[in-house]
Amino acid sequence: MPFIPHTKEDVAEMLASIGAKTIEELFDEIPKELISDELTGVPPGLSEMEITRLMMARATQDGFYQNFIGAGAYEHHIPAAVWQITTRGEFYSSYTPYQAEASQGTLQLLYEYQSMMASLTGMDVSNASMYDGATALAEAALMAVRSHKSSRRILIPQTVHPVYRQVVRAIVSNQKIEVVELPYCTECGQILPESLANSNHEDFAALVIPQPNFFGVLEQVDALTDWAHSKNAFAIGVVNPTTLAVLTPPGEWGSKGADIAVGEGQPLGIPLSSGGPYFGFMACKNELVRQMPGRIIGRTTDLDDKEGFVLTLQAREQHIRRSKATSNICTNQGLMVTAATIFMSLVGAEGLRRVAAQSHANTLELIEQLVKIKGVERTFSGPVFHEAPLTLSQPVADVLNKLKQKGILGGYNLQGQYPELGNTLLVCATETKTESDLRNYATAMQQVLG
């Protein structure tokens, strides 16, 4: 019986204390007709040695590739210290810090995380994390509608991650909130502020502004933010945290700054891991904090006036307010945030800036090499960060397949989500790529298209 410590003698003594003859008897309040037959479909147990072998075989089967896919999840170097500390039992196997005095480790760390994210986004406050970037955006939309009170409409550009848009739609439509998608300029790959100014959008609660956008292109965030504010709507920034070491943070966009900033925290020390667990982040202006969903940690004092940390502003939450809560959320992504906090501490602002700058430079270099190849062209004229779409002379799926044979995952195929763009491939080269990696990719592309 794996993981069950009971000896025969233990069981006998325990049943005697209870006054039961068998363990079966402890289930005697369950109606007999409901008791299951033997389970089927569950294989016999494996020893740890056997499962180790199985999992190593499956991992080996999946192998390693040179990865040039971004599209919302980014490969970055993760210092070894990050996960060695994060998986310490005291972080790994503790629960939500309900008993503050016995959870100061997690609580102080979350407070430090909130401080870092507030600074990175240029906002006043951050919560202790959300499930992922997509749901964080959905919650931001709900939060904007709750705060706005008069409109139940959200504007989302098509330059926002297509799956984020799907997730937002799935979640907010339950509350009869309307999602309006804004088209982008197919020449520059951005939302054009001037086109919005000429549009008839008036009654909406918030405008979502991606930076960089899904194409890797930089949006004109100042003008977009000011336009939203001019319509009495909130501006919600969806940002990549790595880039904020270099780019103007949402809190400083336009004349007043965006009101809410959200995004995917994965680039901050979280491995790609087939898609999760990642974490979403959410930060906002002070005025909105009591509408913010999720855990929030506050600094306070103990009976001796010594500094300590607690879960706070719980009156927003479901376990107190039940059907009147701001959200049903109760778990955050604590362990991921633990890793991200250690990551941000290890690299610091200068380290993060270098990671961002090198990723940007590598992407520029890669594109420069690729567009020299006949059959490869820049899709858009707008400035890019560490990702860019390229228009190919052949169907993207075929090209990707051939690159894969050479051990290269060449990027994300935009044809599925943006059929209007034709044979378009989204490539990304972070700081993990060396000069020779970039050359190899260009050579491989040359061979595939040649």
Partner 1 sequence: MLIFEHSRPGRFNYSQSPAKPASKSAIPQNLQRKSKVLLPEVSEMDTVRHFTRLSQKNFSIDTEFYPLGSCTMKYNPRACNSLAMLPQFLSRHPLAPEDTGQGYLACMYELQEILKSVTGMAGVSLTPMAGAQGELIGVMMIRAYHESRGDFERTEIIVPDAAHGTNPATAVMCGFKVVEIATDKDGNVDLGALKAAVGPKTAGLMLTNPSTLGVFEKNVAEMSRVVHQAGGLLYYDGANLNAVLGKVKPGDMGFDVIHINLHKTFSTPHGGGGPGSAPVGVAERLLPFMPIPIVAKDGETYRWITEKDKPQSIGRLSAHMGNAGVLLRAYIYVRLLGLDGMHRISEFATLNANYLMAELRKAGFEIAYPNRRASHEFIVTLKDIKDKTGVTAMNLAKRLLDKGYHAPTTYFPLLVPECLLIEPAETESKETLDAFVTSMKEILQEIETQPDMVKGAPHAMPVRKLDDVKAAREPDLAWKQGA
* Residue 333 binding: pick among partner 1, a copy of itself, none (C-beta 5-8 Å cut-off by kind): partner 1
Query: Which listed residue (96, 248, 318, 432) binds a copy of itself by CB under 8 A?
Result: 432
By beta-carbon proximity to partner 1, the closer residue of 173 and 199 is 173
Query: Which listed residue (349, 372, 374, 381) binds partner 1 by CB under 8 A?
Result: 349
Structure tokens at 267: 């680039």
Query: Which listed residue (6, 18, 20, 77) binds a copy of itself by CB under 8 A?
Result: 77
Binders in 169-208 for partner 1, by CB under 8 A: 169-171, 174-176
Which residues, at least 6 apart from 230, have a Cβ–Cβ distance to it below 8 Å?
Answer: none
* Residue 95 binding: pick among partner 1, a copy of itself, none (C-beta 5-8 Å cut-off by kind): partner 1
Q: Compute CA 80 distance to the chain's CA centroid, rounded to the nearest angstrom.
A: 21
For residue 199, state whether it binds a copy of itself (rule: CB under 8 A). no
How many of the other CB atoms lie within 10 Å of CB of 299? Answer: 14
Query: Which alpha helices (H) appear in 380-450, and where do they start and end?
Result: 396-405, 435-449
- Min dist. Cβ of residue 181 to partner 1 (A): 15
For residue 436, state whether it binds a copy of itself (rule: CB under 8 A). no
- Min dist. Cβ of residue 80 to a copy of itself (A): 7
Is residue 294 within 8 A of residue 262, CB to CB? The reply is no
Using CB under 8 A as the binding criterion, the count of chain residues that bind a copy of itself stands at 14
Beta strands at 408-409 and 66-67: parallel, antiparallel or unpaired? parallel
Query: Which listed residue (228, 247, 396, 425) binds partner 1 by CB under 8 A?
Result: 247
* Residue 131 binding: pick among partner 1, a copy of itself, none (C-beta 5-8 Å cut-off by kind): partner 1
- Min dist. Cβ of residue 56 to partner 1 (A): 7
- Min dist. Cβ of residue 2 to a copy of itself (A): 12
The interface mask with partner 1, positions 9-28, x = CB under 8 A, is xxx-xxx-xxxx--x--xxx
Label residue 216 left, alpha or beta by phi (over 0 means left) and psi (-120 to 50 means alpha): left
* Residue 180 binding: pick among partner 1, a copy of itself, none (C-beta 5-8 Å cut-off by kind): none
The interface mask with partner 1, positions 306-335, x = CB under 8 A, is xxxxx-xxxx-xxxxxxxxx-xxxxxxxxx
Query: Which listed residue (65, 79, 248, 312) binds a copy of itself by CB under 8 A?
Result: 79
For residue 80, state whether it binds a copy of itself (rule: CB under 8 A). yes
Binders in 397-416 for a copy of itself, by CB under 8 A: none
How far apart CA 369 and CA 373 sit, in angstroms, is 7
Which residues, at least 6 apart from 169, have a Cβ–Cβ distance to it below 8 Å?
Answer: 179
For residue 93, state whether it binds a copy of itself (rule: CB under 8 A). no
Query: Which listed residue (192, 196, 239, 296) binds partner 1 by CB under 8 A?
Result: 296
Total number of residues shown for the chain: 450
Structure tokens at 37: 């037959």
Is residue 185 within 8 A of residue 360, CB to CB? The reply is no
Stretch that binds partner 1, among 90-98, 147-155, 191-199, 371-379 (CB under 8 A): 90-98
DSSP reduced 3-state for 403: helix
Beta strands at 178-182 and 153-157: parallel, antiparallel or unpaired? parallel
- Min dist. Cβ of residue 322 to partner 1 (A): 4
How far apart CA 179 and CA 185 sit, in angstroms, is 20
Q: Is the omega angle on the peptide bond into residue 157 within 30 degrees of 0, that is, cis?
A: no
Structure tokens at 63: 């192998």
DSSP bridge pairs for 235 = 207
Q: Is the omega angle on the peptide bond into residue 250 within 30 degrees of 0, that is, cis?
A: no
For residue 94, state whether it binds a copy of itself (rule: CB under 8 A). no
Query: Which alpha helices (H) appear in 63-88, and where do they start and end?
Result: 80-86
* Residue 8 binding: pick among a copy of itself, partner 1, none (C-beta 5-8 Å cut-off by kind): partner 1
Binders in 42-61 for a copy of itself, by CB under 8 A: 47-49, 52, 60
Cα radius of gyration rounded to whole Å, the chain: 25
Stretch that binds partner 1, among 69-77, 149-157, 188-196, 437-445 (CB under 8 A): 69-77
